[in-house]
Amino acid sequence: MIKIKIIALGKLKENYLRQATDEYLKRLSAFAKVEVHEIEPVRLSENPQDAEIEKALDLEATLISKKLGPDDYVVAMCIEGTQMSSQELSEKMSSLINMGSGSFAFIIGSSFGLSEQIKKRANLKISFSKMTFPHQLFRVMLLEQIYRAFKIKQGSNYHK
């Protein structure tokens, strides 16, 4: 069975976002074993300097790396990543699965993003938009798009 990890900095605080996440996790269970790993972001001062931010991102990278397996196809969600349509994401995932990749790790960084170390480890970098989204909402959006990718592959009307 296909394995998908969502590695996210921060916890879901709003009940409606937890409910939406749970709904997509339930839907995805028909296609893959999905695990969500929440990592506590490193606390920063009120107005952090670049060096403090970089140090925090490096500490977070260490925590993220502990959740990654050697065979994981790592997808970093970051603004400088490639934008792709739902169809393109479906095709990419299907192609990788057909080539034997059965384990994916999608990483959602903290409000300051992801360290260069994680971006270099990533097999793919994806950006959903040039817009900025709340990290908690983004988790729901990512799960929905992964679900949509499987439904597209299946030829379902869900995508219409």
Over residues 110-154, the pLDDT tens digits come to 989 999 999 999 999 999 998 888 888 999 999 999 999 999 999
pLDDT confidence of residue 156:
87
Q: CA-to-CA distance for 118 and 67, rounded, in angstroms?
A: 12
Place of tokens 């994916």: 104
Computed over every residue of the chain, the mean pLDDT equals 95
| Three-state DSSP class for residue 100 | coil
pLDDT at residue 160 is higher than 80:
no
Run of H or E residues at 106: strand 103-108
Class of CATH domain 2-42+69-151: alpha beta
| Three-state DSSP class for residue 97 | helix
Least confident among 31-35, 78-82, 92-96, 128-132: 128-132
pLDDT at residue 66 is higher than 70:
yes
pLDDT confidence of residue 100:
86
Helix ranges (H only) for the chain are: 15-28, 50-65, 86-98, 116-121, 135-154
Nearest to 111 by CA among 59, 44, 13: 44
Q: Give percent of the chain with pLDDT exceeding 90.
A: 89
pLDDT confidence of residue 158:
77
The residue that leads in pLDDT, 72 or 100, is 72
Count other Cβ atoms within 10 Å, centred on residue 15. 8
Write down the domain spans for the chain: 2-42+69-151
The residue that leads in pLDDT, 54 or 157, is 54
pLDDT confidence of residue 11:
93
What is the edge-to-edge ordering of all strands in the sheet holding 2-9?
32-39, 2-9, 103-108, 73-82, 124-126
